[in-house]
Every structure is written in structure tokens, then in C-alpha cells.
Amino acid sequence: MDERTEPRGQEQTEKSDAAIIQIGNYPVIESAVEILTILGNRKKVILRSKGHNIPNAVAIANIITEKLLKGNSHVQKINLDTVSAAGIGDMTSTIEIILIKN
């Protein structure tokens, strides 16, 4: 069963032991701290972002793994993709960063 909540504008979907979070154009430090609280309850967090918000997702992943949980977390996998917008033909880049808590 999927459960959706929105902590400060990010969409979180519970999926087994992972939380999927859509990263938008929100303050990076605040988002990282909120995701840190989610990692307190989960072993895995999947950060998803697209377009101009991709740098925010990368920055959040770096803050969590290099500053907040240094030595206690790591990036398991990074998926990059490009999708076409609905009927327009424009291409949009997407990223999915999987963070694991040790």
C-alpha cells in the first residue's frame, strides 16, 4: 500500500523499506534535515528530481552522506534518464539517487 505525505513540499511514498521523495525547488539544507529524519525510520531513501531541480537532489545527497551521516550512509546507485514532455517533444532530464543508511 502506498502512503503519500508531503513534508515541506516534497512528496514521500512509502515502498517496502524505502521512502521515495520528489525533490523540488526548496531550501537544500532544510530538505536535507527533513530527509535525515526520514532516514531515522527507514534504511533506504530514494531522491527523485527532474530538470532544473537536479542540482538540489545532488546537493541534498552530498549533505546527507558527507556531512550529516558521514560514515553511516552512502549512495547505493544513481539513475539518470531523459523523458519527453507530454505531446510537446521537449526532453527533460531526470535523476534518481538511492541513499542507504548503514
Which three three-digit cell numbers place residue 42? 527507514
Domains of the chain listed by start with CATH number: 4-101 (3.30.110.20)
Q: Give residue 91's pLDDT band: very low, low, confident or very high (50, 70, 90).
A: confident
- CA nearest neighbour of 48 among 75, 18, 79: 79
- Report DSSP state, residue 86: T
pTM for this structure?
A: 0.79
What average pLDDT does range 55-83 have in this prediction?
A: 94
| Spatial separation of the C-alpha atoms in residues 25 and 73, rounded to whole Å | 24
Give the per-residue pLDDT at 99: 96
Helix (H, G, I), strand (E, B) or coil at 23: coil
pLDDT at 101 over 70: yes
The yes-or-no verdict on residue 16 having pLDDT over 70 is: no
CB distance 12 to 6 below 8 Å: yes
Euclidean distance between CA atoms 56 and 40, whole angstroms: 21
Q: How confident is the model at residue 55 (pLDDT cuts 50, 70, 90)?
A: very high
Confidence (pLDDT) at 86? 67
